[in-house]
Amino acid sequence: MYNEQLFAMVVVWLLRAAWIAGILPILISSIPSPKFNAFHKLLVGFAGRGKILQSSSRKFSVPQKFFCHFYILAVIWTTFLLVVTWLYAYKTAPTVSEPLLYSSIASHLTGVSYDFSSRKSHLSLAVHKYRIWKSVFLLLLMETQVLRRLFESIYVFKYSPSARMHVFGYLTGLFFYTAAPLSLCCTHAPDVFKFVTNLFAEFVVKGKDRMQVTEIELWGLVNPFMQLKWYVWIGAAIFSWGWIHQRSCHLILGSLRENGRQRDDYAIPYGDWFEYVSSPHYLAELVIYGGLVVASGCSDITIWLLFGFVVTNLTLAASETQKWYLRKFDNYPRNRFAIIPFIY
């Protein structure tokens, strides 16, 4: 038990350290002081892609169409985490509140109170079950996001053959789509890992024919979601709002290169949130991950740090995109902000 708790703490703190390591350089580079200009330029070079990639960075770049690698990895990894965590929740935590409810009813009817340790045990069990199913729900939301992004990277975006992104940004993307789904369930990762390894060991020892078969009921897979608290559904609504607008904005961007054209031509996008900001797809991403924070109960530091990385990273990219648009087009709408309407 101690080793499992230690493993869980290591996973959580490694993820938190990684997100902090990603956030701090961006914050430092954003300090409005000449002393940090060189560092800001260096960071922008590392983060450059497409139209905002610096010419000096092209020799350290990969094709921008490699974006699809992020989402192939994300779909495989998120699907794996979702399936094994969902199965673990189904087999070890079929409901989220029954033990505490039944014990309270029994105590009331019999007039016999459980001792403090028993009530504490039931409460801890109920909380544990609830958190597992909440993690499953967060992973389910993430799955809908990465599946759509994979579809868009293949069928919506038509990258120019000359479009490149810095190799550092490419590696950062691979890291992000490995760490982001894991951050949504990291507190249960050691338990889920042990559960999966035990299943595999049982399969190796007993073989497929002698393994105990567990019948899975559809209602048992879905019913616990109905018991999630109100803030989870508010977060899901916020997530869906951002998801819908990001899809719309990506379709607008994709339509700028119709009929499969691959030339290095650019046009000013209009419609949806493009009427307010230059990078509405980034704004929608902030809304999406903000929805995950709300759905988590706003109490998970790891998910807050994930959100912080998304905010700082995309704000930097949106700022550079805004500058590029203003340099490129004399008739660019001056009332558009970079990423947050009426603020920045």
Q: How many domains does the chain have?
A: 1
User: Are residues 80 and 88 in contact, defined by beta-carbon separation less than 8 angstroms?
Assistant: no
**Of residues 194 and 278, which shows the higher confidence score?**
278
Is the torsion defined by CA of 35, 37, 41, 44 positive or negative? positive
pLDDT of residue 103: 41
Question: For the chain, what is the mean pLDDT?
Answer: 83
User: Which residues make beta-bridge pairs with 117?
Assistant: none
What range defines the domain where residue 311 resides? Answer: 2-328
**Average pLDDT for 159-163:** 78
255 belongs to a structural domain: yes
For 220-276, the pLDDT digits (tens) are 678 888 889 999 999 999 999 999 999 999 999 988 876 445 555 788 999 999 999
For residue 269, what pLDDT is reported? 93
Task: Using pLDDT thresholds of 50, 70 and 90, give the confidence band for residue 301.
Answer: very high
**Both tokens of residue 1?**
């038990």
| Choice between 81 and 190, residue whose per-residue pLDDT is larger | 81
pLDDT on residue 95: 53
In whole angstroms, give the CA distance from residue 192 to residue 200. 12
More confident residue, 327 or 160: 327
User: Whole-angstrom Cα distance, residue 36 to residue 30?
Assistant: 8
State how far the Cα of 321 lies from the Cα of 277, in Å rounded to an integer. 11
What sign does the dihedral 152-258-64-47 (CA atoms) show? negative
Residues 37-79: pLDDT tens digits? 888 888 888 887 767 776 666 677 888 888 899 999 999 999 9
**Does 337 map to a domain?**
no
Q: What is the pLDDT of residues 202-212, one digit of tens each?
A: 666 665 555 55
Which run of H or of E encompasses 244? helix 230-255
> Which helix or strand (DSSP H or E) is residue 288 part of?
helix 280-295
Q: Are 221 and 89 in contact (CB under 8 A)?
A: no
Burial class of residue 293 (count of CB atoms within 10 Å of its CB; 0-12, 13-18, 19+): buried
Beta strands in the chain (DSSP E): 61-63, 164-166
pLDDT above 70 for 332: yes
Distance CA 283, CA 246 (A): 8
Domain membership of residue 222 (yes or no) is yes
Q: Answer whether residue 333 is part of any domain.
A: no
* Pairwise CA distance, residues 119 & 37, whole Å: 58
50: in domain: yes
pLDDT for the residue 101: 40
Q: What pLDDT does residue 56 have?
A: 60
Task: Report yes or no: 99 and 125 within 8 Å, Cβ to Cβ.
Answer: yes
Say which DSSP state 185 is in. Answer: T
Residue for token pair 């260096």: 42
Residue 26 has pLDDT above 90, yes or no: yes
Neighbours of 327 (CB within 10 A): 9
To 10 degrees, the CA torsion angle through 133, 137, 142, 148?
A: 140
> Exposed e or buried b for every residue in 64-99, given b needs 16+ CB within 10 A?
bbbbbebbebbbebbbebbebbbbbbbeebeebeeb
DSSP annotation of 229 reads: -
In a domain, 338, yes or no: no
d(CA 127, CA 186): 16
Q: What is the mean pLDDT of residues 138-145?
A: 98
Q: What is the largest CA-CA distance in the chain?
A: 80
pLDDT for 105-136, tens place per residue? 334 333 434 443 444 455 577 788 888 999 99
Q: pLDDT at position 202, please?
A: 63
In a domain, 105, yes or no: yes
**What is the DSSP annotation of 12-33?**
HHHHHHHHHHHHHHHHHHTS-S
* Residue 6 binned pLDDT confidence (cut-offs 50, 70, 90): confident
Q: Cβ of 198: how many Cβ atoms within 10 Å?
A: 10
Q: Distance between CA 311 and CA 314 in Å, rounded?
A: 6
Q: Is the pLDDT of residue 321 over 50?
A: yes
In a domain, 342, yes or no: no
For 231-245, how does the pLDDT look when each residue is reduced to its tens digit (9 = 90+)? 999 999 999 999 999
